[in-house]
Amino acid sequence: MDFSKDLEKFNAKKDIPVIYKRNTENERFELSYIFEMGTNSDKALGLAFSYLRFLGTSKYTPEQIQSEFYKLACSFSVSSSPERVTVSLSGLSQNMERALVLLEELLSDPQVNEVAFANLIRDTENNRRNAKLELQNVFNMLRNYAVWGRRSPQTNVLSSAELRALRPQNLITRITDLHKYQRRITYYGPHEKTEFLRIINDHHRVSEILQPPIPPQRFEEQMTRENGVLFVHYPGTQINFAMISKRGERFDEKKIPIVAMYNSYFGGGMGSIVFQEMREVRGLAYSASANFVTPPRLDQTYRFQTFIATQNDKMDDAVQAFHDIINNMPESENVFDVARENLLTNLRTQRITRGQVISSYIAAQDLGLNYDRNRVIFENAQNLTLTDVINFQQEHIRNRRYTYCIAGDKDDLDFRAMATYGRIQRLTLTDIFGY
């Protein structure tokens, strides 16, 4: 992609930035309002917009609202992350103006729905209980604990007491206040720029003076200063195991090509060193991977992590094998040639089209970039060598300290072996989920 050619940027009323891409393929549109504040700014925002799906207005019941959108061949959605709230509208372009009027009416005049509110609170508590029953959820939160510690964006949720203390109007207010804040607008659709601006300027509800986003609560990533073990009990014959290491390395755009090449060679697909050594040669894993993870935002840092799913009684063998191939990485020109070709083939065949161009641009902006990272990877990967990968491994991967994350059955694991990795910290599900 070439963002300078693939996108247009201009302002709507009140100097609201617009990112625009013309759809020349069909008559569908995608319109979004993006607010740079999320659950890090207000823990209840996500819940408020889950509630919005069940609300009507003083003019329409919830069922009538859904029916009206259906008749227009359009739909709306609201998503929230720790950093952002995104309100989206999509559908048939010829009905966009009427659908936008309907969405703006819902955002400005949502009416309390007591039954839906009670169901939402109950479903939220049920979903939280159910999340603790799935091994993958448990393991993901354990790894999150290794990166962030007890306080993280993922555990920054309303407590059960806070949930029960909420009232419907608390959530309604969060919805109706959204128009007060600065935002960006993105559009992918067939409307000409002038017609699109007319529709937005006529119908988008905006305060006279826009406030900056609510400041987010800050969370500190945990640097890996010594080896340690985080263990959580999960009954079964299989463990999920990860090694996570953070040194506080900030994003460096010069590293983009070599990080991609290293990950493809060492821990990527079925031809990578990790997969071949851990599964094919040593038979230690159902699945295995490793990668040097690029942070999604400038205020976060790189981390190196491994993953393996294996039998309980193979835990220590898997740990020792991982240490061996991490610190003494096998060197193979054949594996490197395959890894480079896989990387280049993926880039050649990958297609980022339509509205995805806008989301890719925003992701690049989050890292302070104004270009497509894939172009840099493609142009440089063809000249990288196995020696470059070895040098990267020696400088950035070898001899790191690790937090060992283990989710498995406490009655079927070797805790003596585990104690040799570092001090064991036994965690509960409440510790890692935050509720």
Say how far apart CA 230 and CA 365 lie, in whole Å.
34
The predicted structure's pLDDT at residue 258: 98
Element counts in the chain: helices (H) and strands (E): 18, 12
Q: Cα–Cα distance between 3 and 361 in angstroms, integer?
A: 7
In this predicted structure, the answer to whether residue 278 has a pLDDT above a threshold of 90 is no
Percent of the chain at pLDDT > 90 equals: 92
Q: How far apart are CA 180 and CA 420, in angstroms?
A: 55
Q: Contact 44/171 with Cβ under 8 angstroms? A: yes
Of the pLDDT bands very low, low, confident and very high (cuts 50, 70, 90), residue 275 is confident
- Average pLDDT of 107-135? 97
pLDDT digits (tens, 9 = 90+) for 142-161: 999 999 999 999 999 999 99
Query: How far apart (Å, rounded) are the C-alpha atoms in residues 395 and 324?
Result: 16
Q: What confidence tens digit (pLDDT) does each residue in 347-406 have?
A: 999 989 899 999 999 999 999 999 999 999 999 999 999 999 999 999 999 999 999 999
The pTM is what?
0.93
| Other C-beta atoms lying within 10 Å of the C-beta of residue 15 | 8
Q: Strands 403-408 and 184-189, how do they pair?
A: unpaired
Q: Could you tell me the domains of the chain?
A: 3-203 (3.30.830.10), 228-433 (3.30.830.10)
For residue 21, what are the β-bridge partners? 188
Helices (H), 367-411: 373-381, 386-396
Q: Are 87 and 33 in contact (CB under 8 A)?
A: yes
Q: For residues 83 and 49, give the distance between their C-alpha atoms in angstroms, rounded to a whole number.
A: 15
Contact 228, 244 (CB under 8 A): no
DSSP 319: H
Instruction: Write the burial class of residue 275 (CB in 10 Å: 0-12 exposed, 13-18 middle, 19+ buried).
Output: buried
Is residue 31 scored above 80 in pLDDT?
yes
pLDDT digits 0-9 by tens, 286-313: 788 999 999 999 999 999 999 999 998 8
Report whether pLDDT(247) > 90: yes
Contact (CB, 8 A) for 84 and 37: yes
Q: What percentage of the chain exceeds 70 in pLDDT?
A: 100
Instruction: Give the separation between CA 171 and CA 39, rounded to whole angstroms.
Output: 13
- Give the residue among 424, 408, 406 at the shortest CA–CA distance from 416: 424
Rounded Cα distance between 186 and 193, Å, is 12
Q: In the predicted model, is pLDDT for residue 184 greater than 80?
A: yes
Top-confidence residue, 283 or 379:
379
Q: Is 376 exposed, middle or buried (0-12, 13-18, 19+ CB in 10 A)?
A: middle
Radius of gyration from C-alpha coordinates of the chain: 25
Q: In one letter, which amino acid is 162?
A: E
Residues 140, 144, 146, 150: what is their CA dihedral angle, to the nearest 10 degrees? -120
Whether the predicted pLDDT of 282 surpasses 90: no
